[in-house]
Amino acid sequence: MFIIAIISSRKNKPTLSTSQNTLKYIILYLCLPIDKKQAIMKIFTTQNIHKLDEFTIEHEPISSIDLMERAAKALSKKILERWNNSTPIVVFAGPGNNGGDALAVSRLLAESGYHVETYLFNTKNSLSEDCQFNKSLLEEMPNVTFHEIINQFTPPTLTNEHLIIDGLFGTGLNKALSGGFAAVVKFINSSPATVVSIDIPSGLMGEENTFNNPTHIIKANYTFSIQLPKLAFFFAENAEFLGEWSLVNIGLSIQGIIELPTNYYTLEHEEIKRLIKPRKKFSHKGTFGHAILIAGSQGMAGAAILAARSCMRSGVGLLTVHSPICNCSLLQTAIPEALVERDIQEQCFAEAVDTDDYQALGIGPGLGQSPETEAALLDQLNICNIPLVLDADALNILAQNRKALQKLPKGTILTPHPVELERLLGKCQNSFERLTKAAELARSTGVYIIVKGANSVIVTPTNSFYINTTGNPGMATAGSGDVLTGIILALLAQGYKPEEACKLGVYIHGMAGDMAAHRMGEICMNASDIITHLPPAFKMLTE
């Protein structure tokens, strides 16, 4: 995979000697729609997206108006593929370059035989240069109904047969819409028409929307994002605005994509494949590490079993499960491959264990929060000197003993879902604030935090964010997080570095979930189905 190696390596950057054909395919790879097998690697802030446009204009070289025309052609092609020319189209264009894109799309659709009615909102009598140029071209079209709104807007009558193209505002927006534009947004959202947003729904900001007004954001059915996704696309609270989103390749500079800095990445298939360590012929079980899992309490043996089963299915050489006495017979029956070590207590974890003979430690699934368990966990953390992953009740106990966070071994992995994370961080208004606070905690303590969700995010101590692109809603089921803990524990025991274990763990966890959903559908899935599909998921990554 020569092309992908160039994309993913920070050392191997395309130079002027790289063939145009190779560059063409690198660009095409980068701009593939995100699915379950391939994903782009970088996500830029809106500030750097504009820098990428400028880089392309300077280094291709190409004029800004020609780049806009190229974008309009790509956007029009997406529309032509989905809606035939009997569809009545209404375009809403703003005064900036997003509006310029929309005006160019209007013209190209009209040339293809569509009936297009276009509204250009120029309330301050100030258009961007490229928007002005496309306005002049559109005014010359004989079969376009064109309205330039300076003062008064008379809304058109819209039906469910209409297609609205939203080109009011793009990624340059930095404050909530208000006044007349907010009224236009409300009009569009109240209509029965299908809405396509160009690049980003008008009113939505590319990263943080803490101080935005959600009633002043377009609710698109489809978002055609130019070249790359925006960080806001991966936040649950923004799903209602985006609808179904996809990428539109307009050939922005591959050199610029590689060279421009970012802290945000998506995990992609080929990168994950390269993380997997090959197994040598004369390896034995000791080669692949001995892990210890401290899990379970009375009535919660299932969590320990799920974590242990997923650990055993993820390549660990040996696994010992430390659990209260009441769970031991269940564990030995459910996971005969694992060793079982009894705690001193009948019903809960109550005594820290010696970890000198182990390569990694996992604590948390089904642990409970009894006073004895809280004391034992804090003791365990004080003596731990091996790679560590903490989940579930281990995190809840830490939230009540925040000073202990500063004593965690560097490289410890925390795997909270959003509620558990907020117990550690305090209440967060939205996903962006949650990630920001998680990054502060990761930096100050030297830990890795996996914020679990539809797109789980790995937050590193060096302020990098890796967004997972595998997984599906069928995985929103009890025990799914325990399975992830077991996978990561196995990887740590095998000698994977914490960041590698995080990346490979979340990706293959989601990949196994996708295979389970493909086989049995999302509604009927449970956590055991994810474990069942770990072998084919690993197999796919190693072939």
From residue 295, give the alpha-carbon distance in Å to each of 183, 309, 310, 377, 454: 55, 12, 13, 11, 25
- Residue 402 φ/ψ, nearest 5 degrees: -65, -25
Residue among 508, 472, 468 at smallest CA distance from 491: 508
Cis peptide leading into residue 61 (ω within 30°): yes
Bridge partners (DSSP) of residue 118 are 91, 146
Instruction: Specify the pLDDT at position 276.
Output: 97
* Residue 521 CB neighbour total at 10 angstroms: 10
* Residue 532 CB neighbour total at 10 angstroms: 17
Quote the CA–CA distance of 267 and 372 in Å, as a whole number: 40
State the residue for tokens 């569809």: 87
State the residue for tokens 């980068």: 30
- Block means of pLDDT (10 residues each) for the chain, 543 residues, are 30 34 39 40 93 97 98 98 97 98 98 97 97 96 92 96 98 95 98 98 97 98 96 97 97 94 95 95 97 98 98 98 98 98 98 97 98 98 97 98 96 97 96 98 98 97 97 97 98 98 98 97 98 98 92
**Residue 491 near residue 502, CB atoms below 8 Å:** no
Quote the CA–CA distance of 259 and 24 in Å, as a whole number: 17
Instruction: Specify the pLDDT at position 41.
Output: 80
DSSP secondary structure, 285-339, as one string = GGGG-EEEEE---TT-HHHHHHHHHHHHTTT-SEEEEEE-GGGHHHHHHH-TTSE
Residue among 477, 474, 487, 367 at smallest CA distance from 417: 477
What sign for the dihedral angle of Cα 475, 481, 487, 492? positive
Bridge partners (DSSP) of residue 466 are 265, 458
Q: Name the burial class of residue 35, with classes exposed (0-12), middle (13-18) and buried (19+) by CB atoms within 10 angstroms of its CB.
A: exposed
Quote the CA–CA distance of 332 and 340 in Å, as a whole number: 7
DSSP secondary structure, 58-113, as one string = HHTT--HHHHHHHHHHHHHHHHHHHS-TTS-EEEEE-SSHHHHHHHHHHHHHHHTT
State the residue for tokens 């914490």: 498
What residue type is 204 in one-letter code? L
- Enumerate the domain spans of the chain: 31-266, 269-278+285-542
State the residue for tokens 């029956």: 333
- Residue 145 φ/ψ, nearest 5 degrees: -90, 115
Instruction: Specify the pLDDT at position 33.
Output: 43
Question: Residue 22: enclosing H or E segment and its boundaries?
Answer: helix 20-30
Question: Residue 352: enclosing H or E segment and its boundaries?
Answer: none
* Residue 193 CB neighbour total at 10 angstroms: 18
From residue 316, give the alpha-carbon distance in Å to each of 313, 320, 391, 494: 8, 11, 19, 6
Quote the CA–CA distance of 10 and 124 in Å, as a whole number: 45
Q: In what order do the strands lie in the sheet with 465-467?
A: 42-43, 264-266, 465-467, 457-459, 448-451, 413-414, 388-390, 360-363, 290-294, 318-323, 339-342
**Residue 72 near residue 137, CB atoms below 8 Å:** no
**DSSP for residue 40:** -
- Residue 277 φ/ψ, nearest 5 degrees: -80, 130
Residue among 199, 286, 278 at smallest CA distance from 241: 199
Task: Provide the pairing of β-strand 413-414 with 448-451.
Answer: parallel
Quote the CA–CA distance of 100 and 90 in Å, as a whole number: 15
Bridge partners (DSSP) of residue 321 are 293, 340
Quote the CA–CA distance of 156 and 20 in Å, as a whole number: 47
Instruction: Specify the pLDDT at position 3.
Output: 27
Q: What would the two tokens of residue 134 be?
A: 């496309």
- Residue 112 φ/ψ, nearest 5 degrees: -95, 10
**Residue 450 near residue 502, CB atoms below 8 Å:** yes
On the CB side of 298, CA atoms within 13 Å amount to 7
* Residue 154 CB neighbour total at 10 angstroms: 7
Quote the CA–CA distance of 377 and 352 in Å, as a whole number: 7
Radius of gyration for the chain, computed over Cα atoms and rounded to the nearest angstrom: 26
One CATH from 3.30.1490.190, 3.40.50.10260, 3.40.50.620, 3.40.50.300 for 31-266 = 3.40.50.10260
Instruction: Specify the pLDDT at position 27.
Output: 42
Q: Name the burial class of residue 224, with classes exposed (0-12), middle (13-18) and buried (19+) by CB atoms within 10 angstroms of its CB.
A: buried
One CATH from 3.40.1190.20, 3.40.640.10, 3.40.190.150, 1.10.150.120 for 269-278+285-542 = 3.40.1190.20
